[in-house]
Structure 1
Amino acid sequence: MPAQKAVIAEAPAEVSFTFTNEIRLTRVDMTHADAAAVPLDLGGQNSFARSFSLPLHNMGPGTYHIEWRGLAKDGHAMRGDLVFTVK
């Protein structure tokens, strides 16, 4: 996954999440700076794991915002976000 506030030359082929402990991703939303939703497919990502990768398609230049939500094994809700720019 690009680093927080990274400016990268090419769009990544995927977005990756890595956590210290296992979680289950429950939702991942991505938007372009013009507020257009970018489709992401969680596919079979419904089990607990420490890392997840989601493919990205047809991304052009601009700033992107990713918001994710997950559930820890102890039932604790987790969330985070990431902003990066493709030149």
Structure 2
Amino acid sequence: MSFIQKKISTVPSIFLGITLLFTATSALAHVKLLSAIPAMNATVTDQPKNLTLNFGEEVMLMNIKLLDAQQKNISLNYKVNHDLKKSFNVPVPSLKKGKYTVTWTTMGKDGHNMNGEYSFTIQ
């Protein structure tokens, strides 16, 4: 095989590799938490009645926890609902002033679990 023939035969292989790379990247993309109430890293003065999580795509909220500054779990009355939604409202009990961390786990349409956390402070 001549040098030119070898170079021409590698072009389809390179194209196939690039195509597979982009396909794999989009398949591994995870749904992100777009916004929350109370907002991420916010300081609020009023007691929140709910935690609201807004995701970029429809997901199933598998788990949500609220932790205080000492990492003590604050009981939330959340039951997993198998509906896929972009937004979830979870009632919260009365909270004292301090820093809180929200942790969550979702499952996307593709079956992949995603998790994350954010904090807010009540003054």
TM-score normalised to structure 1 length: 0.91
The number of residues matched between the two structures is 87
2:45 aligned partner, one-letter code: A
- Among candidates 10, 23, 26, match of residue 59 of structure 2: 23
Unpaired runs of at least 5, structure 2:
1-36
Q: Tell me the C-alpha RMSD between the 2 structures.
A: 1.2
1:41 aligned partner, one-letter code: N
Greater percentage in strand: 1
Q: Is 1:74 the equivalent of 2:113?
A: no
Structure index of larger Rg: 2
Distance 2:122 2:81 in 1: 26
- Among candidates 72, 76, 89, match of residue 40 of structure 1: 76
TM-score normalised to structure 2 length: 0.66
Residue 44 of structure 1: CA displacement? Answer: 5.4
Unpaired runs of at least 5, structure 1:
none
* Structure with greater contact order relative to length (CA < 8 Å, sep ≥ 6): 1
Residue 11 of structure 1: CA displacement? Answer: 1.7
On the 8 A contact 2:62/2:80 being kept in 1, the answer is: no
Quickly say closer, same or farther: Cα 1:19–1:27, change in 2 above 3 A.
same
Q: Is 1:7 the equivalent of 2:7?
A: no
